[in-house]
A and B are shown apart, each in its own frame.
Chain A
Amino acid sequence: MGGPGGRQGRRYTFAMRIDPALVSKVAALAALELSDAERDAMAGQLTRIVEHFEALRELPESLLEGDVAAHATPLREDVARDGSPGSLIEANAPAFAHGHFVVPRVVTRD
């Protein structure tokens, strides 16, 4: 795997290959499971896409010195509001009991 090199303020090196090991690592972060064939195909496609993105590297740093966010996201008052009716939440849930979503056991004895 090639590294991205560089930190904020340095010149970046984007040229990199996204190899199957990196795809597996990222897939684990995203809670996705890929077959070996899917993983290998994805490695090739993502490498090609990321190679194309190298064009971003060619911009001089001096051009990138403005504010990143032109407008801050406006925030609303932090007050509790009535959400959707409970019956619809229950109807959409794969498993629901006693007013709660049911999931596999998380805390075990061993």
Chain B
Amino acid sequence: MTTHESAFDLSSESPSKIALRTLVRDRRSWVASTMLIIVVALTLFAPLYASLISKTDPFVSTINGTVVLDGVEVQVLQQSTEGLKLGVNPIGPTWKIGPYFLGADNQGRDVAARLLYGGTNTLLIGFAAAALTLIVATLVGVVAGYSGKIIDSVISRILDVIWAFPVYLLSISLSVVLLTSGFKWGPISLEAGSLYLPIIIIGLVYVPYVARPIRGQVLTLREREFVKAAIGGGAKNSTIIFREILPNVIPSVLVFIPLMVSLAMLTESALSFLSIGVQPPDASWGTIIKDGLGLLYTRPMVALTPGLFIVITAVALNLLGDAVRDALDPKARLRGAF
């Protein structure tokens, strides 16, 4: 405890107003938000880019296609001049605004265009899976923390078992099973290539990661005076949960948001890299890295650039997450950070 905190009457503002102001004044939130906006804008720009700049369909192989470079018509996939001269060599980056800015992949597709389209899927899955995780985990955590011993034990055991499964193993297992055969259960039918599958798998796999801390927080809150007072006053459980418990749990959930999006994104790209995430013909940054493996030593841009995008997005999300966490932590204010 700092020696002077009791003397200062800083409580005249609501905690959310203070948090918002701290967040706005934190340089990190601006840097991170800018980076994220740029990345999202670029991916949204994908269709325009494909039609205006790259002028090829990024989902169609153009093995025999040609392109005009410096006035000369050139084959997109050329005979390899290296090694045994057996393979084909896609053209490299032109570094000019136009078709094949970053070169072509081994099916003649425009890498830059695929990159932007792929970003849409990666970001979509990242955000959707994170949303799923947070909603389910908050529900589960609040129910477990607030309910009686039996329900809590059952839920906690289930969470323990899921969490004892290393995240990657569980998601890989589920993906291997579901992504080749699809999922059919009563009225619910998801095809093998559906994007819903990675979203649901990644979303559920991370539930224990969030649910346990929330459950812990709810357990502590339940013992606090203001909750006991509400119970003593005869308030219904639902009222207590919505009025007293949830508002205190929301800040923790907010801190989790950027972190979970980043984790979900990284997990999706890993699964796609292993061919059990996003399925062709859809693309994501992970699949493009996988596609680029065969060309790693000749046309490294194919594998390099999606990874760079992942890193940039993840860095931005982590920065934002740090800023949000510091803004919502009341003690951080008093550490001389007026």
Partners in one complex: no
Binding site for A on B (CB under 8 A): none
